[in-house]
Amino acid sequence: MSADLNRIRHEVEHRRTFAIISHPDAGKTTLTEKLLLFSGAIQQAGTVKGKKTGKFATSDWMDIEKQRGISVASSVMQFEYKDHTVNLLDTPGHQDFSEDTYRVLTAVDSGLMVIDAAKGVETQTIKLLDVCRLRHTPIVTFMNKCDREVRDSLDLLDEVESVLKINCAPITWPIGMGRSFKGVYHLLRDEVFLFEAGGEKINLDVEIIKGLDNPRLDELFADEAAQLRMDIELVKGASHEFDLKEFLAGRLTPVFFGSAINNFGVREILDALIDWAPAPASRDATVREVVPTEEKFSGFIFKIQANMDPKHRDRIAFLRVCSGQFERGMKMKHLRLNRDMAANSVVTFMSHDREIIEEAFAGDIIGIPNHGNIQIGDTFSEGEQLAFTGIPFFAPELFRVARIKNPLKIKQLQKGLQQLGEEGAVQVFKPLNGGDMVLGAVGVLQFEVVAHRLMSEYGVDCVFESPSTNIARWVSCENKVKLAEFEKSQVNNLAEDAAGNLTYLANHRVNLDIMRERHPDIVFHETREHA
């Protein structure tokens, strides 16, 4: 094996790429900061986000939009921990941005699920876990806020198992809760970690008591020690044991209890991610499977973000490296456009900032600045023709037409919509008959973001009206003649999306049903993958 391949293999084995998934307010932002704190990437909590993104009044969100530099720098973060390079991806918590979230989840190898232990499993977590389950993504679970009055721990595990359909293997177990929260017992290490309220900095001298039968426990908690021993017996009997294979298959989740705000239980999660979560895996592409330790570089775009830095009016395309070694200045081929690109100004994301990147390996997320020629789902390689599969787009459920206040701005409106469509902020359909562009979204907030961005980035003041469209389906047909016939007969109901895919727009579901009956060779798709 060549020295380079050895290097690539070493780097891949030492990489972990995961996303935090949770319902808003469970503590994702707090935990993200604490993970950075424990890794040494930041010295003090409270420095990553000036303002939290957990609240979703539109006005708050717009404020955050304005401060993109802050919010986005933290949507992809890389840090070092115990000789490993860790890539942490943020997922928007609000369901209106779920499309974005689904695609972020295609770029990770594992997930960290944060649950508010006072509330248990909440709706957004259920949806996100559904997506993870599709890809068998291994999940580590953190039961947060144990310093509050929370729900019974066995009940919580039961709920996770029954609602999220994943077995639980408790790794730590809480001793008390709320004011009487004393710490956790680590079932695998047979150690008790004593709770101490922490804050912005890490307290390194947390007391650890070795062994559940240690008399020090009785000394410290005369009242609770006996109960704890009984509880642990019960827990061991009633719950699943940790099994690495089951975890890697996405069927079992190790569960940790703690309190993010107090830095308690955070180190254990990081250790679990390093010790158990998978290194970057092989990925499906058209033609063949791509192995991360291959010599040649390849990757795909899963997210595009504009105006990350108001100083540079560019867009950053986030690429997940799938194989080989990325090196600054190398030639990468943008396969959809069949165009070579010199990768000189590709960036990586640290806790505060972006930096020009020198090299990257499978699992890393790199940012490619561009002016609008890269789309979500695009594959880059060193020349080999392949396309990574499994990056989804969902048929929108909400529709709007943009009406501009100043008709002279029509060109800017079209340009803005085209670009926002390519970016995936909203879906944009251009009717074949030349009518108004139709916008489609999964969540209504997406329209507000688009209106705001049209104004601030393209100088277009517009209002949205509801069109008659209520259904959109991508269309395909193996028989080219039949497709052409369909196109001709339905020209008034057909449009192209931002990537040029043919789409059928209907007023009602009945129209769609009739179309299906009349044109049995045409396939109407509810989701599409990047072509």
- Candidate list 228, 261, 290, 343; residue touching ligand G4P; CB under 6 A: 261
* Cα–Cα distance, 126 to 165 (Å, whole number): 10
Q: Least distance from C-beta 177 to ligand G4P, angstroms?
A: 11
| 420 lines the binding site for ligand G4P (CB under 6 A) | no
Q: Is 42 helix (H, G, I), strand (E, B) or coil?
A: coil
Name residue 184's amino acid. Answer: V
Q: Least distance from C-beta 28 to ligand G4P, angstroms?
A: 3
Nearer to ligand G4P, 29 or 375 (CB): 29
Stretch that binds ligand G4P, among 71-79, 200-208, 239-247, 258-266 (CB under 6 A): 258-266
- Candidate list 25, 200, 231, 384; residue touching ligand G4P; CB under 6 A: 25
In the numeric block, the tokens 């033609």 are attached to: 287
- Candidate list 92, 93, 111, 280; residue touching ligand G4P; CB under 6 A: 93
Nearer to ligand G4P, 25 or 436 (CB): 25
| 30 lines the binding site for ligand G4P (CB under 6 A) | yes
Q: Least distance from C-beta 39 to ligand G4P, angstroms?
A: 17
| 263 lines the binding site for ligand G4P (CB under 6 A) | no
Stretch that binds ligand G4P, among 102-110, 253-261, 304-312, 449-457 (CB under 6 A): 253-261
Angle at which helix 410-423 crosses helix 445-458, to 10 degrees, equals: 130
Q: How many other CB atoms are there within 10 angstroms of residue 479's CB atom?
A: 11
467: left (phi > 0), else alpha (psi -120 to 50), else beta? beta
Residue nearest to ligand G4P (CB): 54
Residue 109 vs residues 15, 125, 283, 426, 529: alpha-carbon distances, Å: 10, 18, 11, 26, 20
| 475 lines the binding site for ligand G4P (CB under 6 A) | no
* Cα–Cα distance, 327 to 344 (Å, whole number): 9
What is the four-CA torsion angle of 219, 220, 221, 227, rounded to 10 degrees?
A: -70
- Candidate list 8, 16, 22, 319; residue touching ligand G4P; CB under 6 A: 22
| 26 lines the binding site for ligand G4P (CB under 6 A) | yes
The token pair that represents 321 in the structure block: 């490296």
Name residue 81's amino acid. Answer: Y
| 89 lines the binding site for ligand G4P (CB under 6 A) | no
In the numeric block, the tokens 């049995």 are attached to: 520
* Cα–Cα distance, 345 to 263 (Å, whole number): 36
| 143 lines the binding site for ligand G4P (CB under 6 A) | no
| 54 lines the binding site for ligand G4P (CB under 6 A) | yes
Q: Is 199 helix (H, G, I), strand (E, B) or coil?
A: coil
The contact set with ligand G4P (CB under 6 A) reads 22, 24-30, 52, 54, 93, 144-145, 147-148, 259-262
